[in-house]
Amino acid sequence: MAIAMKIAGHISRSSWIRRMFEEGERLRLEFGAENVYDFTLGNPDVEPPKAFYRELLALAQNPLPGMHRYMNNAGYAETRAAVAAKLAKDSGLNVTADHVIMTCGAGGALNAVLKTILNPGEEVIILAPYFVEYKFYIDNHGGVPVEVWTDHETFQLDIDAIEKALTSRTRAIIVCSPNNPTGVIYPAESLKRLGDILKDIHRRTGHLIYAISDEPYARIAFDGKHVPNIFPLVESSIIVTSHSKDLALPGERIGYLAANPRMDTVLQFMEGAVFSNRTLGFVNAPALMQRLVTKLQDESVDIADYQAKRDLLVSELTAMGFEMVRPDGAFYLFPKSPLKDDVEFVKLAQKHHILLVPGAGFGAPGFFRIAYCVDMKVIERSLPAWRALAREVGLKG
């Protein structure tokens, strides 16, 4: 075999989104792009805010000497200070540049964290439904993923189930709020309860369990809802995030990790994370993007645009008979599959030129994901196809 057997196995288990993308390419060639409704990828269709282009133009017209050279592996001091100031404002804590590392997106941040904290065979709890890459990131660093379901009806944290899953081998738990793929926001009360449990374990046994908060959608919240900052709620917390979604820059791979300044071991953790970020091959986050996002920490894409798309889809699909939790943020819907076999349902949707991802790809058979970060006109054009699909599976249509 030309590649490692483990990698070959990973490819076969992680290929749902890739398969659907390839199917979309085939359908677009056969029927025309305007007749295919692709809801598979979380790839924002909106453009970055105008402030991004102002900063880009200013740098292009007035380049700084040495602006493309290596810098401290943690990132530019001024960029980290800007991120820290935003986190300090949101958390009410004394977050400084020394608690921040600029990274190659949230994926780079999460890999740096896991490499820093994991010993071989230690466990990381992931909450189903979950972002599929979590399992592979954990495996990258010798860890063992442990799946714990959220509440099956609301997708909110099941704190009792999490507590039962904690063992002497548990090293971390990953939370994502607003969640991919469900869009729910975890309230402060639930996160504080989780933090109290982890703190009590640490106090009684000396066993430190980290809560890693994956937050690329934290600024995309609807209906005036607020995404709680995890730092005041969980002492042993680390934030990993990117500007892929809130600034619509997924291809630029710019993000950061930040450690809770209340952690007793924060300095040791940060030293390890800087080392891990470098030796994983990321070395440092892209220099130009660091410069650009320094002044954009309070900027965001137009949240109203995503909320309008959510409202239209939720209204129309529920009227057709689909069942779903109304998301609080992000840009995903995660309805129940009207067929017991969610893979079979997704295949049936392809007949109507609707491209979806089965819940099995997120550790949640019986559901399917809709990524509605597409043009509103695509959503509107897709509605007759949705109605025909609904009728075919015995819903109202």
Q: What is the pLDDT of residues 335-372, one digit of tens each?
A: 999 999 999 999 999 999 999 999 999 999 999 999 99
Residue at 300: amino acid letter = S
* pLDDT for position 306: 96
Within the chain, strands assigned E span: 37-38, 100-103, 123-128, 144-149, 170-176, 210-214, 237-242, 255-259, 332-333, 354-355, 357-358, 368-371
Segment 235-250 shows an average pLDDT of: 97
Segment 300-304 shows an average pLDDT of: 94
Give the ranges where 15-154 is alpha helix by DSSP (H): 16-31, 50-61, 77-91, 105-117, 133-140
The 10 Å Cβ neighbour count of residue 385 is 17
pLDDT surpassing 70 at residue 17: no
Least confident of 42-46, 78-82, 173-177, 183-187: 42-46
Does residue 240 contact residue 218 with C-beta atoms inside 8 Å?
no
Question: Among all chains, which residue has been given the structure tokens 């380049």?
Answer: 63
Segment 146-163 shows an average pLDDT of: 97
Round to whole Å and give the CA distance between 155 and 152: 6
Instruction: Give residue-wise pLDDT tens across range 138-148.
Output: 999 999 999 99
* pLDDT for position 16: 67
- Mean pLDDT value across the chain: 94
* pLDDT for position 7: 78
Instruction: Give residue-wise pLDDT tens across range 61-105.
Output: 999 999 999 999 999 999 999 999 999 999 999 999 999 999 999
Cα distances from 391 to residues 62, 287, 388, in angstroms, run 59, 52, 5
Handedness of CA 33, 320, 366, 123 (dihedral sign): positive
Round to whole Å and give the CA distance between 30 and 35: 10
How far from chain centre, in Å, is Cα 75? 22
Does residue 326 contact residue 222 with C-beta atoms inside 8 Å?
no
Round to whole Å and give the CA distance between 241 and 252: 13
The percent of residues above 90 in pLDDT, for the chain, comes to 88
The 10 Å Cβ neighbour count of residue 299 is 17
pLDDT surpassing 90 at residue 18: no
Question: Model confidence at 34, in pLDDT bands (50, 70, 90)?
Answer: confident
* pLDDT for position 201: 98
**CATH classification of 50-293, choosing from 3.20.20.70, 1.10.599.10, 3.40.640.10, 3.40.605.10?**
3.40.640.10
pTM of the predicted protein model = 0.95
The percent of residues above 70 in pLDDT, for the chain, comes to 98
* pLDDT for position 27: 78
Does residue 197 contact residue 163 with C-beta atoms inside 8 Å?
yes
Class of domain 5-48+301-392: alpha beta
Domain ranges, ordered by start, for the chain: 5-48+301-392, 50-293
DSSP 3-state of 292:
helix
By C-alpha distance, which of 371, 230, 373 is closest to 305?
373
* pLDDT for position 13: 67
Does residue 247 contact residue 48 with C-beta atoms inside 8 Å?
yes
Segment 281-309 shows an average pLDDT of: 96
| More confidently predicted of 45 and 158 | 158
pLDDT surpassing 90 at residue 114: yes
* pLDDT for position 24: 74
Round to whole Å and give the CA distance between 43 and 244: 9
* pLDDT for position 184: 98
Does residue 113 contact residue 273 with C-beta atoms inside 8 Å?
yes
